[in-house]
Amino acid sequence: MQDLWRLSATELAGLIKSKKVSAKEAAEAGLARLDAVNPKINAVVDHRRDDVVAQAASIDVAIARGDDLGPLVGVPVTIKIGADQQGFATTDGMKLQRGNIARVDNPAVANLRRAGAILLGRTNCPTASYRWFTTNLIHGDTKNPRDPGITPGGSSGGAGAAVATGIGHIAHGSDIAGSIRYPAYACGVHGLRPSLGRIPAFNPCSEGRPIGPQIGAVSGPLARTINDLRISLAAMSAPDARDPWYAPVALEGPPRPKRVAMCLNPDGLNPVPEVVAAVEDAGKRLQRAGWLVEKIEDTPSMHEPADILTKLWLGDGYEAQLEMAEREGDPGALACLRGIRDKVHPFDLSKALTRRDTLTRAWFAFLDKYPVLLMPVSGELPFPDHLDLKDAASFARVWHAQLPQIAIPFMGLPALTVSTGLVGRVPVGVQLVAGRYREDLCLAAGEAIEAGGTPSAAIDPEN
């Protein structure tokens, strides 16, 4: 059983529950895989071998007692460095936070632990999780394992690179403007941004969050199979009283028709031909699986939600964020804040929240008619690494291409990146969106798209 790291989380948990494999063996396989490939990609930036082995030993003892430890029993998973994990620094990619040691787990992390998962290591992100590229001055540069010349995505770039290479079977990520969906897209795996309130969110070692992150940022899973996303969502969404936005809503909603709206060019995105082809191919896979796919010319507004979400994220407390970035000295964080200043400053919170009410109503009506929306993740294939630092035109190009990712969180909707294949060795995929708390519809459509293509598998990093 030398290649346990190749298995899906579902397969591995089944072997451990049936006592065909021990949690210790799963942990040792995960650690060996980390040792073998992480030096090439720098996806995991903090881990403690003794802690991992101790977690596995505790799980094996519990299994021997006959305890039921949950759906992820013995499954190695990774945690993003922006989430509190007891005893580890929540750096969020910042030197300024290297001493920010968590005393207790973030709710999503605690839920993974309670579901029986083994917390294998901490994954990298850009400074303050600002970019769709992953580097910082404390942990260094994360490389895309499929092609080191392209971004691994961000901000959960370490998560995407780790799970793509078999460092863990599931990766925890967080998403306010694409930070789960884009690394999944760039690294050729799947990534789910849940609805606002689905997975409880709170970092005890930090102060309360401004309203933008409160209504925009969520935790969620990245994985190599859609079913692994499903079981990890179930595990991560257990209740936690520390999140006032938490919504105790059933994971399975009432039946809806298998009806998909396919939009190739939402709100003037003008995607490249390879992206259009991926969306069309996904539509054909859905049709073959019995879904009704209707091609539509446009969606409700995406530019306005994206613009206001950006203001809520970066404009609320802009000067304080800029001052922090200047003290940190990270070029990427500074380029992000300086490049976006004219879009977010000054900021009118009342107007932003008033428009959210109107825009969300329009999207709810659209998704009542069409249970699932199929569209691009990005207007381009994954970018050359650090394209946003090249010049002003490149910075603007990146932000325009990411429109479908930035808009959706403003309405609190769930969205799923489904990896659909490669263009050369560059990954491509599609995005599925459904009504609030209807992750089940995204996952059902995603499973049909996944089944129509090449099965996913962990890869060795390319040179």
pLDDT at 215: 95
pLDDT at 2: 65
Q: What is the pTM of this model?
A: 0.98
Lowest mean pLDDT among 166-180, 203-217, 356-370, 387-401: 203-217
| Nearest in space to 87 (alpha carbons), one of 122, 56, 62 | 122
Active site residues: 80, 155, 179
Give the number of C-alpha atoms closer than 13 A to the C-alpha of residue 353, restricted to the C-beta side. 8
Looking at per-residue pLDDT, the higher value among 456 and 399 belongs to 399
Section 400-408 average pLDDT:
98
pLDDT at 69: 86
**d(C-alpha 186, C-alpha 348), whole Å:** 34
289 burial via Cβ count (<10 Å: 0-12, 13-18, 19+): middle
CB-CB contact of 27 with 57 (8 Å): no
CB-CB contact of 318 with 345 (8 Å): yes
pLDDT in tens, 41-60: 999 999 999 999 999 999 99
CATH of domain 4-451: 3.90.1300.10
Domain ranges across the chain = 4-451
pLDDT in tens, 234-252: 999 999 999 999 999 999 9
